[in-house]
A and B are shown apart, each in its own frame.
Chain A
Amino acid sequence: MLRISRREMLQRLGATLTAVTVLPLALPVRARAQAAVAESFISFTAEEAQTVKAIVARIIPSDENGPGALEARADRFIDRALAGALKASRPAYSTGLMAVNAAARSSRGKDFSQLSAADQDAVLTSVQQTSAQFFNLIRAHTIQGTFSDPFYGGNANFIGWDLIGYPGARTSVSADLQRMDKKPEPSRKSAYDYGMFSKGEA
């Protein structure tokens, strides 16, 4: 079990509440019940979620340079966005994820998420050629989920911003923070932690 901060807990709770309110009433009761469980996925089926987690973990892996996209919860970012702002991409994920698993099974005999990291990399390298459009899509969303404001559910614990040295959202920046001879202290804040801004669609 991951240890999570109170702030992150609130964020997750927020995500869940948002999810419940945006779900159309016509959706089956089962789906709504699933969404009400804090850690369940909003858009992805359980199988799809396994594949997405495994893919984002290879696009930006956890390694000697620190935690990666999975730790940043890029998978959760994508899941949430596909029910909202990125809704139009949902069908591309259904077919794209199926294609990834099909490639994994035909070349390695197992679902993508069951393969070793090296085998996953080999499958992804081939998918990058055979399903270039989907690969580019999930790569772009993995980057967004890792480096965007944590408000959207990714970049957990500022993993993405720490990786590249972005010192975080601020509403005011002193001259010292624009010098080259010292590294600015990270703000550790989302834009929306400042309470000054209306929020867009998560």
Chain B
Amino acid sequence: MATMLKKTNVVIVGLGAAGGVACLPLALAGIDVIGLDAGPRLNTRDMAPDELRLNRRVWPPGPQKTQGEAPTSRANAEGNAIQGGHPMMNAVGGTSIHYWGQSWRLNPWDFKVRSETIRRYGASRIPKGSTIEDWPFSYDDLEPFYDKVEYTVGISGKAGNINGKLDERGNIFEAPRKREFPMPALRTTGFTEKMAAAAKTLGWHPAPGPAAVATKSYEGRPGCAYHGYCSGAGCHINAKSSTAVTTIPLAEKTGHFSVVSEARVTAVEVDNNGRVTGVTYVKGGTEYFQPADVVLVAGYVYENSRLLLLSKSKPYPKGLSNNHGQVGRHYFSHNQGSPVAAMFPFNLNNWYGLPAQGIAVDNWADDNFDHSGLDFIGGGGMYVYTERRPIASVNGLAGWLNGTPTWGSAWKAFVKTNADRINSAYLQKTTLPYEDNYLDLDPNVKDPFGLPVTRITAEFKDNEKKIAAFMQDKMEQWYRAAGATAIQRSPIGNAMGTTTHAYGGTRMGTNPETNVVNGWGFSHEAPNLGILGASVMGTSGSRNPTLTLQAIAWRTADYLAKNWKSIAM
């Protein structure tokens, strides 16, 4: 029997990028919140610039429930689902501790892909089998929450569009913002300046990317030290604006928010009327029940669907909030695959810096260009960046050897010459949800508790593959303009597999027949259950998901605070 704890107003399951933001507006409104995370609290001493520890050994330190519950994946229902690894992270702050920190807003188009495509090109241009819907709100509705997150956690960047006034120093393709970023963009490097100059020779519009990294002293945190070891690692001086060092401590200061770390939630409980009553969790081998007026589920995409599907009850025999069979549907990964890499005939000096210190070109993203004569919708963002690690620089040459042996003196000479001459671009491309791409529980693979893990069934369709090929052409053009002498394109690929940019499974929309949560992020079926994270997003855009899911999380929490009585009682 679980130990019964004292009831609270709101319990948040998962204190990562989304839950770590939502706690703040609630606590500021005087609502008592308990935040649970399966991982420990980390500090700057855990953040050594040590490649072996970060990339080859056990990091992060502390209990990592995700290691035992990585999803299985297969391309389609005929395939055999195989379990792989996944960089989901359990810690207070979650993946916002080790992510790149790229903090883009979505474009207005991303909220209305369906209606805008039909308006501009006709209904026949919606790819067959796609379940794409317009979002239940527009970019303008989300703008104030983007602004709140940018200023509260601290985002650096250069505005390219303030209230419609374009500025070439920023990204002129970004959605109009009300004001400048709170901090200037990360500095440029020799390499990023070279790439920016090359983009300009092509008539494109290069711009620095926005980053959840302080570039000057901000709210008691120092500016970035550019020392490297930012990707897949936490910041040793707290310059990275993770929720662990921003919104979570701010919420704790109100006296209305407390954190329970190393607490692993196994089920969301409900009463006979279908309202949620709290969560069951395990900490230190003991099972607890934490009752709450409202539950906000805020795990990673794979975990959100999984927790709902595991929480079966009389009112929800197929899993919580799944009486319409929508949990796990409309899943898609960001089409990050099929990258392009280049070899230059000179050293790039890319050893230091961070992935967020890069240059983006959005000329071919979203609907920024005319698709009339093309056979796909959407596009991709192109992005090049700094940071290189010694072991990775050596191993990364494997595909460039061209007949040179893989060891010995000839190999050593090749490594010595080329270790700092390779660059690989990051291409994030529109991905749509489809009828037969989904998440469910794996019938065979279980975690150490004996609970089934998530199974991904998803493949890229024609639209995604055409975008990938189109973007590879553009990227090759860009690298060549900068002086690259050899180019490698990775295969376009079929299976989506696991990804750090996963979306859907608990999609947000006004129609309960096709969506799990309503336009505010609350369940269509269990009125006091909210869901946070990219699992509610219905489109990906060409941009990293985190800032958008944080803005949505803030909006959901704000709505809950303002409508407390009608939702909680």
CB neighbours of B407 from chain A (8 A): 58-60, 124, 139
- Across the interface, do A178 and B393 meet the contact criterion of CB distance under 8 Å? no
- Asked if A171 is at the interface of the complex by the 8 Å CB criterion, the answer is yes
Q: Which of A143, A164, A167, A192 contacts B48 (CB 8 A)?
A: A192
Q: Which of B225, B406, B409 contacts A173 (CB 8 A)?
A: B225
The number of residue pairs between A and B whose CB atoms lie closer than 8 Å in the complex comes to 151
- Across the interface, do A164 and B226 meet the contact criterion of CB distance under 8 Å? no
- Across the interface, do A184 and B50 meet the contact criterion of CB distance under 8 Å? no
CB neighbours of B226 from chain A (8 A): 172-175, 177-178
- Across the interface, do B236 and A165 meet the contact criterion of CB distance under 8 Å? no
- Asked if B408 is at the interface of the complex by the 8 Å CB criterion, the answer is yes
- Asked if A185 is at the interface of the complex by the 8 Å CB criterion, the answer is no
Closest 5 CB pairs of A and B: A180-B190, A197-B48, A164-B419, A178-B189, A172-B225
CB neighbours of B394 from chain A (8 A): 143, 147, 164
Give the interface size class of chain B.
Answer: 35 or more
Which residues of B44-95 are within 8 A (CB) of A? 44-53, 56-59, 61
Name the CB-closest residue of A to B189.
Answer: A178
A interface residues, tally (CB under 8 Å): 49
With contact pairs A180-B191, A198-B45 given, residues A173 and B352 touching in the complex (Cβ less than 8 Å): yes
SS class, residues of chain B in contact with chain A: loop
State the CA gap A111–B107 with chains docked (Å). 66
CB neighbours of B44 from chain A (8 A): 196
- Across the interface, do A178 and B386 meet the contact criterion of CB distance under 8 Å? yes
- Across the interface, do A65 and B353 meet the contact criterion of CB distance under 8 Å? no
Name the CB-closest residue of B to A200.
Answer: B53
Which residues of A117-144 are within 8 A (CB) of B? 121, 124, 128, 139, 143-144
- Across the interface, do A121 and B408 meet the contact criterion of CB distance under 8 Å? yes
Q: Which of A164, A180, A198 contacts B194 (CB 8 A)?
A: A180
With contact pairs A175-B187, A198-B45 given, residues A184 and B53 touching in the complex (Cβ less than 8 Å): no
Which residues of B24-56 are within 8 A (CB) of A? 44-53, 56
- Across the interface, do A60 and B412 meet the contact criterion of CB distance under 8 Å? yes
- Across the interface, do B390 and A68 meet the contact criterion of CB distance under 8 Å? no
- Across the interface, do B51 and A148 meet the contact criterion of CB distance under 8 Å? yes
- Asked if A179 is at the interface of the complex by the 8 Å CB criterion, the answer is yes
Provide 8 A-B residue pairs closer than 8 Å at the C-beta atoms, listed in order of the A residue.
A61-B408, A66-B416, A163-B415, A165-B347, A172-B226, A177-B349, A196-B48, A200-B61
- Across the interface, do B45 and A164 meet the contact criterion of CB distance under 8 Å? no
CB neighbours of A163 from chain B (8 A): 412, 415-416
- Asked if A93 is at the interface of the complex by the 8 Å CB criterion, the answer is no
- Across the interface, do B391 and A148 meet the contact criterion of CB distance under 8 Å? yes
- Across the interface, do A164 and B390 meet the contact criterion of CB distance under 8 Å? yes
With contact pairs A175-B187, A179-B190 given, residues A197 and B351 touching in the complex (Cβ less than 8 Å): no
